[in-house]
Amino acid sequence: MEAAGVVMVGAGIAGLTAALAAAETDDVCVLAGGGPEASSSSRAQGGLAAAVGEGDDPHLHAEDTLRAGAGLCDAERVRQLAAAAPSVVEWLAQLGVPFDRDPSGRLALGREGGHARARIVHAGGDATGRFITEALWQAALRHPRIEIRQEHCVGIARDASGRAVGAWTWDGARHRLVGARRAVGLATGGVGALFGRTSNPPSAVGAGVALAYHAGATLANLEFVQFHPTLWLGRDGDAMLVSEALRGAGAVLVTELGAPLFADPADNLRTRDVIALAIARAEADGHRVFLDATKVPEVAARFPSIAARLRRAGLDLASQPIPVTPGAHFLMGGIEADLAGRTSVPGLFALGETACTGVHGANRLASNSLLECVVMGRRFSEAVGHEPCARTHTAEDPEWLLRPEQDEAVLSELAPLMWSSVGIVRDAPGLRAALAELEQMAERYPGSGAVLAASLIARSALWRRESRGSHVRRDAPAPNPAYARPSRIGKAHSAFTSVAITT
């Protein structure tokens, strides 16, 4: 058995930040899977939220975050996240991330939905995630204590006590066990690809959720999937996120008739759950929705990646409205963890989108995700330093291993079901019907993490009999104070908090 001090699964911003931090004191093996370009991090356009502007304050950033979270945020963790943001920007700049600046050399700050102030730092206009990921990736490649493998994690190895002691991997030809003397970290991203229409890469099928579930970890708030309001769908079926920063710069949503979607232009900068639902309802009434950025000054220069992609499709962002539609974007729930990534399983950590820390509540505030990735990654190393080392325990034989080929085979069948029954608007009959189909899929694809993650999301959505944040139930259209708490589920129990469920 090969071994490292830390085994990190994932090569997005959370995984790479954690690997770099942990490598200051121990050797790290990064299981990079498809590499950083396959991560959601590299696709992030808008930027990173931080109260670094004149007159802004982390307290105000925290207030906006709590407001967006619709009563389900962990307030203390939100305050810690917002307080850490300015130092995160400074650290990334020192690492070489070329944040955009104004002519005087100060950070250029954008505004996005739910933020009362302009506090979004960005790089390359609309390519922030790519620039941050690349800087971290190059630093990891240079680090003498970091080994990077293009292998996929297919199981969490545990000892007889249940402690995580390594990862089972698959390189396309054989399985192997990579031991972890201190910790295993999961930074595997979200679940957007389960819904078909998504801003996420095809690999975002909830692998971390499935791996952690089979390792015995507690999962939380899986029903809260954020649907980004503005995706552009190409003729080839490819989806591109059209950054919320465009609306922050003055773009507005209109129907095919040119009528404003919102009577008050300020409503174009409401939180994502509100905007996505408004567009979905307009579409249900037979309308098409467009983003009109024709009055945004120098829009093509300010958003070069978006403008170039649209230009290749024959569309001009500066002179014509662009058709947009909602798509699955971000998972607020995930593996329950603190801000250092500790989960309910000793030795197992979860970071970034695959973790549920409570900072996003029922609806993520724009551009808080990249911030959370870096904050968690930097805190991870201190937490790992307190983990026991030099274990002599032997890994038990795996009870279950993920089979990536089954995820690929089932996705074309799974995605339409999730979009239609577990999408933006849900109800009990649709969720129960979806669970029945998912149970049949699980019998045919027992090694599919995608089917398992989809089932857990649907079960969570069925349990939460209210509408709150990104979770909308047509049969329970208002928030219910009885559900003002996280949902929790794990392999060892079949109850959400104190309410038993049936499947």
d(CA 154, CA 170): 6
Rg of the Cα atoms in the chain? 21
CB distance 28 to 42 below 8 Å: no
What is the torsional sign of CA 387, 393, 399, 404?
positive
Amino acid at 468: R
Choosing from 272, 342, 378, 459, which is the catalytic residue?
Answer: 272
CB distance 57 to 123 below 8 Å: no
CB distance 20 to 156 below 8 Å: no
**426: Cβ contacts below 8 Å, ≥ 6 apart:** 461, 471, 472, 473, 474
Q: Which of 93, 76, 56 is nearest to 374 (CA)?
A: 93
Q: What is the DSSP string of 428-487?
A: HHHHHHHHHHHHHHHHH-TT-HHHHHHHHHHHHHHH--S-BTTBEETTB-S--GGG-S--
Q: Which tokens belong to 454?
A: 């989809």
Q: What is the largest CA-CA distance in the chain?
A: 69
Residue with tokens 């079926």: 237
d(CA 264, CA 393): 63
Concerning whether 403 is annotated as a catalytic residue, the answer is no
What's the DSSP call for residue 397? P
d(CA 208, CA 210): 5
Identify the helix (H) or strand (E) that includes residue 180: strand 175-186
Length of the chain: 503
b/e map 292-327, b = 16+ CB within 10 Å: bbbebeebbebbeebbebbeeeebebbeebbbbbbb
Residues belonging to the active site: 272
